[in-house]
Structure 1
Amino acid sequence: MIDTILYLLFTIFYVALFLFSIKLIKKKALSFYMLSFPLVIIGLIYDNLIIFIGSFIGEGNTLFALSLLRFWLHALFTPTLILFGYGVAKHANISWANKPIVKVLFLISTAILISYEVVKTISHDVAAISEYGIIRYGIVETSGPPIMVIVVALILLFIGISIFKHMNWSIMMIGVAVMIVGSAIPFSLPSTAVINLFEVIFMLSLALTHRHLVKVYQYRYVSQTG
C-alpha cells in the first residue's frame, strides 16, 4: 500500500517538474540540447503512472502492453540526459564544452547508449513482478550493473563537478552524487519505491540547475543591455 501511494506521489511530482521545465524552456534562455530534459520527465511520468495503476489493472495482456512503452521510453529518452548535461555545460560557458570534438563525443555517446538500450529491450524477456502491493512488468536483466544508468550518472557527475568549480553551484553535483551513492547502498526496506526518492532528488537537482543557469543568463543579458 505504501509503495502504491509513493508511486502516485512520484507521478504528481514529475508532472509538476515537467510543467516547471516547460516554463523554463519558454524563457528561451537555454541551449538546444537542454530540450531533452522534458522528454526524460515524460518517460518518468509514464513509468511511475503505470507502476501505480499496475495493481488495479492486474497481471495480463493490458498491463504487459502498457509496460512495453515504459521500456521504450526509458531506452530512447533516458540516455539523452547526456545531451542535457552537455547543454548545461555549454550554457555555463565551461571551456571544454565549447570544443567541437566534445559535442561530437556527447552525440556519439548518446547514440551508442540508445542503441544499447534498444538491443537490450528487444532481446531480453519480460516478466511479471509482484512485490509490496505493486504489480508490474520488468525486463529480465542479466547479471551485472545497469551500464547505461552508470555511464549517464558518471558523465553528469563530471559535469556537476565542472559547474561547481566554474560557478560555485553545487546542487547538480550533490544531486547526482546522492543518486549514485543511494542506488549503490543495499537497503533492507519493505519497499522498492523508497529507493526512487534518490531519483527524485537527482531530477530535481537538474531542474534547479537549469533554472539557475536561466537566471544567470537573464542577469547577464540585463547587465549588458542596461
Structure 2
Amino acid sequence: MIDTILYFLFSICYLTLLILNIKLIKKRNVSFYMVFLPLVIVGLIYDNIIISLGSFIGEGNVLLLLSMFRFWFHALFTPTLLLFAYGVAKQSSLQWANKFIFKIIFLMSTLALISYEIIQTINKNPEILREYGIIRYTFVGASGAPLMVIIMAFILLVVGVSLYRKTRWSIMMIGVALMVVGSAIPINLPSTAIINIFELFFICSLFLTQRYVTFSIHDKD
C-alpha cells in the first residue's frame, strides 16, 4: 500500500514539474532542444500512474496493454534527454557544443539509443511482477542498469561537469551522480518505489538546470 501511495505521489511531483516546465518554455525563448525534457516528464507521469494503479486494475490484458505504453514511452522518449543535454550545452555556450560534429554526435547517439530500445521492446516478453503490494508488468530477464541508461548517464554527466567548469553550476552534475549512485548501490528496503526518489531528484536537477541556463545565462547576454 505504501508503494502505491509513493508512486502516485511521484506522478503528482512530475505533473508539477511538467506545468512549471511548460510555463518556463512559454515565458522565455528557449532552445528547441529544451522541449524534450517535458516530453520525458510526460512519460514518467504515465509510468508512475500506471504502476500505482496496477493493484487496482489487476493482472490481465488491460494492465498489459497499459504497460506496453509504458515501455514504448520509455523507449521513444527517454533517449531524447541527450538532445536536451546538447541544448543545455549549446545555450550555455560551451565551446565544444558550437562545433557541428558534436551536434551530429548527439543526434546520432539519440537515434541509435531509440533504435536499440525499440528492438529491445519488440524482442522481450513482458511478465507479471508482484511485490510490496504493487502489481505491474516488466520484461523477462530485465536486471541491472540498461545499456541505454548507462550511456545516457555518462553523456549527461560529461555535460554537467562541463557546465560546472564554466559556470560553477553543479546541480545537473550532482543530479546525474545521485541517480547513478542510487541505481548502482543495492538498497535493502521493503519497497520498489524508494529507488525512484533518485530518478525524481535527477529530473528536478535537469529542470533547475534548464531554468538556470534560460534565465541566468540569457540575462547576461
TM-score grouping bracket, smaller chain normalisation: over 0.9
Aligned to 1:224: none
Q: Segments of 4+ in structure 1 off by > 4 A?
A: none
Per the TM alignment, residue 218 of structure 1 is displaced from its structure 2 partner at its CA by 4.2
Aligned to 2:137: 137
* Segment drifting more, 141-150 vs 155-164: 141-150
The answer as to whether partners of 2:40 and 2:78 remain within 8 angstroms in 1 is: yes
Partner amino acid for 1:45?
Answer: I
Secondary structure at the aligned position of 1:127 is classed as: strand
RMSD: 1.1
The CA distance in 1 between the partners of 2:218 and 2:95, in whole Å, is: 20
Aligned to 1:70: 70
The CA distance in 2 between the partners of 1:216 and 1:147, in whole Å, is: 34
Aligned to 1:106: 106
Aligned to 2:159: 159
The answer as to whether partners of 2:171 and 2:208 remain within 8 angstroms in 1 is: yes
The answer as to whether partners of 2:11 and 2:45 remain within 8 angstroms in 1 is: yes
Number of residues of Structure 1 aligned to a counterpart in Structure 2: 221
After superposition, give the CA deviation of every residue in 1:168-211 in whole Å (9 maximum; x if it has no partner): 10000001000001110011110010000000000000000011
After the TM superposition, which residues 1-226 of structure 1 pair with which residues of structure 2 at under 5 Å, given as runs?
A: 1-141=1-141, 145-221=145-221
Secondary structure at the aligned position of 2:28 is classed as: coil
Shift in CA distance, 218/90, structure 1 to aligned 2, threshold 3 Å:
closer
Q: TM-score, normalised by structure 1?
A: 0.95
After superposition, give the CA deviation of every residue in 1:20-57 in whole Å (9 maximum; x if it has no partner): 11011112332111111100000000000000000000
Per the TM alignment, residue 141 of structure 1 is displaced from its structure 2 partner at its CA by 3.1
Gaps of 5+ in 2: none
Per the TM alignment, residue 121 of structure 1 is displaced from its structure 2 partner at its CA by 0.2
Partner amino acid for 1:138?
Answer: T
The CA distance in 1 between the partners of 2:65 and 2:43, in whole Å, is: 15
Q: TM-score, normalised by structure 2?
A: 0.97
* Segment drifting more, 140-149 vs 49-58: 140-149
The answer as to whether partners of 1:29 and 1:218 remain within 8 angstroms in 2 is: no
Secondary structure at the aligned position of 1:141 is classed as: coil
Per the TM alignment, residue 216 of structure 1 is displaced from its structure 2 partner at its CA by 1.6
The CA distance in 2 between the partners of 1:132 and 1:144, in whole Å, is: 20
Shift in CA distance, 145/11, structure 1 to aligned 2, threshold 3 Å:
closer
Secondary structure at the aligned position of 1:74 is classed as: helix
Identity of aligned residues (%): 59
Partner amino acid for 1:212?
Answer: Y
* Segment drifting more, 27-36 vs 91-100: 27-36
The CA distance in 2 between the partners of 1:77 and 1:91, in whole Å, is: 21
After superposition, give the CA deviation of every residue in 1:56-85 in whole Å (9 maximum; x if it has no partner): 000011000000000000000000000000
